């Protein structure tokens, strides 16, 4: 039987269990991104805001041939949890409620989230797992006490069980929205589950707090994603654990401002075989994330995540003349007056026919957390879907949302936003037993079999002008 939560147009899939009951959303790190995300969802629930930027809420998906005119909303096509069924919880280094965090971060004006102030004030973070070796610029006040990292993980597992019981949630997902950690030294503790569990018990210095949260979630079969560039679940032990417990995992680092631009422009340059000679990117940012990134250790983690995208898109090994010697520089400067309203500048030096130089300039006045919040929502809903569809381990189809997509070690990550988008939608089609769309289209003009007959649309969607919309 179809879930009463979903519109009639949604076909039930044998491969995906229905989204029954409440979904617990656990967020280690309750700062700018988390508070903007939760405030937005609560406002949307009351029809006081629009979830702009969210594919799960606003995008349609084409099904079948263009003349079939089938393009339901994604949320009407795949069985996703409803916003009304989301319950939020999390951990932070500071005891501020989500309301207080939203006021302090200043992403939204307090007037905007006043209608949901009761809901936001009721969400208080649990005490955090912390290690000053991995985060130097913050002085936390809201911490757990534990003799070693194994006990820390057990406390997080107990928090999760208590949250589940108290809030009567059926399922859970966890998303790291905490600060960017300094990268740990590579160590044998990251190699296998056995070594990692031994490392937790031995309080290994190479295990970071975000790894402790990831372990707590994944060991319980809870889907886990990482919105920051630190490793967290991107190492062999955690991949092994996720495959064993059936937990879908994804990461790393939400693709929001400048990398969103980079992974959109670079595919165009490559598609048109225009050469790249240099790409200089600089940002000013004044929120707590900017403060953390002011530490060279945390910046290094971010820099790796931001710089690798161009090479994987442009493939200099295949096109040495076009992309073999470009200069790529990324800077982030902490500049408090701007708060969360980041400004990014890109200067792109390109070359065309006969190596004639040209330039592209981008000045993106974006709002970091406004771009990140819909990504958090989509990841929550898609990870929960993946769990119900029995998908386990790395979910590369969610690369669309990340600067530095986690993938199998023998594969190159896919950073081209258009390929990522196609991959995401085709995965949804496959999950629901629909045809994959490759946009090849020769069969529309097949002289032997003839062009397939158009099927009249059951309900042609009227355009604003009153004319019937043509098949795409
Ligand atoms: N804002 C964006 O657009 C964007 C884009 C990509 C990635 N990110 C990443 O997402 C993360 C969150 O960004 P933000 O702007 O909300 O930052 P933020 O500084 O406002 O919030 C991060 C919160 O994490 C908490 N925290 C740090 N370590 C913790 C721990 N061990 N346990 C529990 N809580 C911990 C901090 O106290 C802080 O409140 C950052 O790592 C950032 O780099 C953000």
Residue 111 token pair: 């007037």
How far is Cα 293 from Cα 182, in angstroms, rounded to an integer? 10
- Kindly state if the Cβ of 128 falls inside 6 Å of ligand 1: yes
- Kindly state if the Cβ of 178 falls inside 6 Å of ligand 1: yes
Average pLDDT per block of 10 residues along the chain, 472 residues long: 38 76 98 97 97 98 93 97 98 98 94 96 98 90 96 98 97 96 92 97 96 98 96 95 97 91 96 97 83 74 74 94 94 87 93 97 93 98 97 96 94 94 96 92 75 58 39 34
Angle between the N-to-C axes of helices 193-201 and 236-245, in degrees from 0 to 180, rounded to the nearest 10: 110
Query: What is the pLDDT at residue 472?
Result: 34
- Residue 35 C-alpha to ligand 1 middle, in angstroms? 11
- Residue 30 C-alpha to ligand 1 middle, in angstroms? 7
- Kindly state if the Cβ of 368 falls inside 6 Å of ligand 1: yes
Of 30, 94, 179, which is best to mutate to test ligand 1, by the most ligand atoms within 8 angstroms of its C-beta? 179
How far is Cα 380 from Cα 34, in angstroms, rounded to an integer? 12
Give me the residue label for tokens 């569809």: 389
Decide: pTM greater than 0.75. Answer: yes
- Residue 289 C-alpha to ligand 1 middle, in angstroms? 6
Encode pLDDT of 195-214 as tens digits: 999 999 999 999 999 999 99
The set of residues, in sequence order, having a beta carbon less than 8 Å from that of 268 and lying 6+ positions away, is none
- Kindly state if the Cβ of 29 falls inside 6 Å of ligand 1: yes
Specify the residue with its C-alpha closest to ligand 1, atom 42.
228
Encode pLDDT of 310-356 as tens digits: 999 999 999 999 999 999 998 888 888 888 888 999 999 999 999 99
Counting every residue written for the chain, the total comes to: 472
| Alpha helix stretches (DSSP H) within 272-400 | 288-293, 296-314, 320-323, 368-388
Query: What is the pLDDT at residue 15?
Result: 80
The atom of ligand 1 lying closest to the CA of 288 is 19
- Residue 127 C-alpha to ligand 1 middle, in angstroms? 15
How far is Cα 239 from Cα 396, in angstroms, rounded to an integer? 13
How far is Cα 118 from Cα 84, in angstroms, rounded to an integer? 16
E strand spans, 155-296: 171-176, 224-226, 248-250, 275-285
The set of residues, in sequence order, having a beta carbon less than 8 Å from that of 288 and lying 6+ positions away, is 31, 32, 105, 138, 179
CA–chain centroid gap for 276, Å, is: 28
CA–chain centroid gap for 303, Å, is: 18
Q: 257-276: string of b/e by CB count within 10 Å (b at 16+)?
A: bbbbbbbebbbebbeeeebb
Query: What is the pLDDT at residue 261?
Result: 93
- Residue 33 C-alpha to ligand 1 middle, in angstroms? 7
Encode pLDDT of 410-450 as tens digits: 999 999 999 999 999 999 999 999 999 988 878 788 777 66
Specify the residue with its C-alpha closest to ligand 1, atom 8.
228
CA–CA distances in Å: residue 466 to residues 316, 384, 460, 463: 49, 39, 11, 5
Query: What is the pLDDT at residue 339?
Result: 82
What is residue 255's DSSP assignment? -
- Kindly state if the Cβ of 92 falls inside 6 Å of ligand 1: yes
- Residue 291 C-alpha to ligand 1 middle, in angstroms? 11
- Residue 413 C-alpha to ligand 1 middle, in angstroms? 24
Of 26, 27, 29, 182, which is best to mutate to test ligand 1, by the most ligand atoms within 8 angstroms of its C-beta? 29
Q: 41-79: string of b/e by CB count within 10 Å (b at 16+)?
A: bbbbeeeebebebbbbbeeebbbebebbbbbbbbbebbb
The Cβ of residue 465 has, within 10 Å, a number of other Cβ atoms equal to 7
CB 107 within 8 A of CB 33: no
Query: What is the pLDDT at residue 194?
Result: 97
DSSP 3-state assignment of 225?
strand
CA–CA distances in Å: residue 113 to residues 94, 338, 472: 21, 21, 39
- Residue 178 C-alpha to ligand 1 middle, in angstroms? 3
Domains of the chain and any CATH numbers: 23-254+370-431 (3.40.50.720), 264-365 (3.30.360.10)
């Amino acid at each position: 039987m179809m879930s009463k939560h979903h519109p009639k147009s949604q076909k039930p899939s044998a491969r995906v269990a229905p989204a029954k009951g409440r979904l617990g959303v656990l967020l280690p790190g309750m700062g700018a991104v988390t508070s903007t995300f939760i405030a937005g969802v609560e406002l949307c629930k009351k029809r006081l805001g629009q979830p702009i930027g969210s594919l799960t809420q606003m995008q349609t998906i084409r099904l079948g041939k263009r003349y079939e005119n089938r393009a339901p909303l994604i949320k009407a096509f795949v069985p996703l949890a409803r916003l009304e069924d989301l319950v939020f919880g999390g951990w932070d280094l500071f005891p501020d409620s989500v309301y207080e965090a939203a006021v302090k971060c200043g992403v939204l004006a307090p007037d905007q989230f006043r209608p949901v102030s009761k809901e936001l004030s009721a969400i208080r973070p649990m005490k955090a797992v912390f290690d000053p070796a991995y985060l130097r610029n913050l002085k936390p006040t809201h911490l757990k006490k534990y003799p070693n990292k194994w006990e820390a993980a057990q406390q997080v597992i107990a928090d999760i069980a208590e949250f589940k019981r108290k809030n009567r949630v059926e399922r859970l997902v966890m998303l790291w929205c905490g600060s960017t950690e300094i990268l740990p030294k590579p160590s044998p503790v990251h190699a296998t589950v056995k070594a990692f569990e031994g490392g937790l018990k031995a309080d290994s210095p190479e295990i970071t707090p975000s790894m402790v949260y990831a372990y707590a979630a994944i060991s319980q079969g809870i889907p886990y994603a990482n919105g920051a560039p630190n490793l967290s679940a991107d190492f062999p032990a955690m991949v092994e654990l996720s495959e064993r417990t059936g937990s879908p995992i994804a990461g790393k680092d939400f693709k929001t401002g400048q990398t969103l631009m980079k992974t959109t422009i670079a595919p165009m340059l490559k598609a048109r075989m225009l050469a790249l000679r240099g790409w200089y990117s600089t940002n000013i940012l004044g929120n707590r994330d900017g403060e953390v990134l002011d530490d060279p250790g945390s910046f290094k983690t971010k820099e790796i995540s931001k710089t690798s995208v161009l090479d994987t898109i442009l493939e200099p090994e295949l096109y040495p003349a076009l992309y073999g010697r470009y200069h790529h520089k990324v800077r982030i400067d902490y500049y408090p007056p701007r708060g969360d309203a980041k400004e990014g500048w890109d200067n792109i030096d390109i070359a065309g026919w006969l190596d004639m130089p040209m330039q592209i300039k981008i000045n993106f006045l974006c709002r970091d957390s406004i771009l990140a919040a819909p990504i958090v929502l989509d990841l929550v809903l898609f990870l929960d879907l993946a769990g119900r569809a029995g998908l386990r381990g790395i979910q590369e189809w969610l690369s669309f949302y990340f600067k530095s997509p986690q993938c199998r070690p023998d594969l190159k990550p896919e950073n081209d936003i258009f390929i990522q988008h196609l991959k995401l939608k085709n995965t949804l089609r496959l999950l629901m037993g629909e045809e994959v769309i490759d946009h090849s289209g020769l069969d529309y003009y097949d002289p032997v079999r003839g062009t397939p007959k158009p099927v009249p649309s059951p309900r042609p969607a009227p355009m604003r002008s009153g004319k019937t919309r043509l098949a795409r």
